[in-house]
Structure 1
């Protein structure tokens, strides 16, 4: 493995300079001359080195481990540093539906120029410098938060260049913390694009910055457009994850496996109980989250499965896994995904006695 840094890479389109960080896999220097798939990463200074908040995604370590375990093929990764004060501008497209004038910052949208910078200036340079496979079926784009938003927009506009999209904790709505007014800042693309694979995820503790209902709304739009659930379009929800580099590091290996690995057969299907939120309604008792784990290391939250009640005293559970009835004897909740199923006991928990002091 080698990490390289290209300082002050010039963009004539954006009239600025930024550092580019490159990861080369362990076999790159073996003299074979073979070419590798490429993954382009927004906020590149965070990907291999501590930057914001002293944290890093440590994607080089994740890739090294996954390659050594045979879970993904060897890849090249290109981290594109953001321009700090220009980040929101460069990651915002002036498209229909993107109400950037009501965003939380004063946005001067430069997303189209940033898109052209990646495609017309940076990618040709990388393809000349390194042994990369150049087609969209071998080229991925990934980013988080606003980086997830710009990944979505670029990928939907240019599937001829980027065939795999990693949309991590995407910033899709600005929610005003004062009155909870919601402003949409992403465009809708009704027609299916010729993309290879899409990965979308988020955490359950990202607050109003990234809300599950907004991300699930985008997922539903993509499903309605015709993307195949759980194969072409993979979704993952981590109830305990926050909006931090640390939490993105913990699950960053999953899109790598989705893009560049072989998932294998379904190895395990599990159900986890987590807290319901006010968004689920006053009658929500709790939330059940399903997780499908595959032989190749991939984990996802199934889009194609179905919740149901089980046992002799059925619990009331909806399609999103929200339970709306109290615990009772002989009650269970179940989830079926393809030929597999999992159950979770919904009987009352035994009371724990308080210790007696004397």
Structure 2
């Protein structure tokens, strides 16, 4: 039963104060054949999912422990479930399925990076992790749930190294993931590898990319300045590689820190910007959302 999706209350039956809202299901041990391991996967279904036959966009997220539940989070949860439940009350057109994959603990830095950082001794499994998302997890979700499987309806997002692997996955599998959100995007560790990869590829003009960096990512002013320059370079390189400027957004977050407190506050704006494009595609008369931090 470990690889069968169950209501979260049947899986998390301990005494912890869980903070999950809405219809969230859990697969305790989803196989990752590309990395010869398995991982817990969380699946959030929209409020209206069981009231009709509508199909939905899908948002894939990393660090699943932090997405829905304070009791399993490393710091504070993102509150993605509460955010989407509230958005559904405002406008059901913003509803999406969310699939969140737990990170691998001490394997996280390896799985979220496709190059190896020799100085710090991590990385190198990102290609396999991205292949898992594209070749194993997405086909499973599309075959078991009512999804809109096209890339223009498929989002992928994360923070820090989760942002990095989100962008890597989206540019490697542009035919599957059409919208990517990278919060506190970092690339200090890869000697410019992702920039080189972007320059080697012709990016689809249909790709939609959000990147952000906080003003106070660390207490090191020089590092913060470098981090901002890195994201600026990534943003400019993405545009030069074929993504229209209107579809590549970069926000410098005033007072933004490198933690879940900043990321959870930013998530509603990032999601709204990514999902609004889907909403407008389904209904062209819907106006654009503003870029609050631009």
Q: Same fold (TM over 0.5)?
A: yes
Partners of 2:203 and 2:242 within 8 A in 1: no
Superposition pairs of residues 1-358 of structure 1, within 5 angstroms:
1-30=22-51, 32-50=52-70, 51-70=72-91, 73-94=94-115, 100-102=117-119, 105-174=120-189, 183-184=191-192, 186-188=194-196, 189-190=198-199, 191-194=201-204, 195-207=206-218, 208=223, 211-229=227-245, 231-261=246-276, 298-302=290-294
SS at match of 2:152: helix
Whether contact under 8 Å (1:100, 1:185) holds in the other structure is no
With over 3 angstroms needed to count, the CA separation of the structure-2 counterparts of 1:69 and 1:296, relative to structure 1, is farther
- Distance in 1 between residues matched to 2:262 and 2:134, nearest whole Å: 29
Give the Cα separation in 2 of the matches to 1:25 and 1:186: 34
**1:263–1:14 Cα change, 3 Å:** closer
When residues 114 and 90 of structure 1 are mapped into structure 2, their CA distance, relative to the original with a 3 A threshold, is same
Q: In 1, Cα distance between the equivalents of 2:93 and 2:256? A: 24
- Partner deviation per Cα, 1:113-170 (whole Å, 9 max, x = no partner): 1111111111111112211111111111111101111111111111001000111111
**Alignment match, 2:7:** none
Distance 1:232 1:78 in 2: 24
Tell me the number of residue pairs that the alignment of Structure 1 and Structure 2 aligns. Answer: 258
Distance of 1:196 and 1:224 partners within structure 2:
13
Q: CA deviation at 1:192?
A: 3.9
| Change in CA separation of 1:241 and 1:263 when aligned onto 2, cut-off 3 Å | farther
Higher RCO (CA 8 Å, separation ≥ 6 residues): 2
* Alpha-carbon contact 2:179-2:208 (below 8 Å) kept: yes
Q: Which runs of 5+ in 1 are unaligned?
A: 175-181, 265-294, 303-358
After superposition, the C-alpha distances for 1:63-82 in whole angstroms (9 at most, x for unaligned) are: 12222222852110000111
- Secondary structure of the 1:86 match is helix
Structure 2 CA distance for partners of 1:71 and 1:201, relative to 1, 3 Å: farther
- Residues 24, 298 of structure 1: alpha-carbon distance in 2 compared, 3 angstrom cutoff: farther
Instruction: Find the structure with the greater CA-based Rg.
Output: 1
Q: 1-side partners of 2:207 and 2:292: how far apart?
A: 17
SS, match of residue 172 in structure 1: coil
On the 8 A contact 1:205/1:243 being kept in 2, the answer is yes
CA contact (8 A) 1:5 1:21 kept: yes
Please say if residues 10 and 17 of structure 1, whose CA atoms lie closer than 8 Å, have aligned partners that are also in contact: yes
Indicate conservation of the 8 Å contact 2:114/2:123, yes or no: no
